[in-house]
Amino acid sequence: MRIPRDLSGERLAQALRILGYEITRQTGSHLRLTTRRGGEHHVTVPRHHDLRVGTTAAILADVARHADLEREALVELLFKR
Render pLDDT for 6-20 as a digit per residue (tens, 0 to 9): 999 999 999 999 999
CATH number at residue 34: 3.30.920.30
Q: Is residue 1 part of a domain?
A: no
Contact 8, 51 (CB under 8 A): yes
Q: Is residue 14 part of a domain?
A: yes
Domain span holding position 63: 9-79
pLDDT for 81 equals: 61
Residue spans of alpha helices (H) in the chain: 9-15, 53-67, 71-79
| Mean pLDDT in residue range 37-59 | 94
* 3-class secondary structure, 26: strand
Percentage of the chain modeled with pLDDT above 90? 89
The number of folded domains in the chain is 1
Q: Is residue 2 part of a domain?
A: no
pLDDT for 2 equals: 85
What's the pTM value of the predicted model, to 2 decimals? 0.92
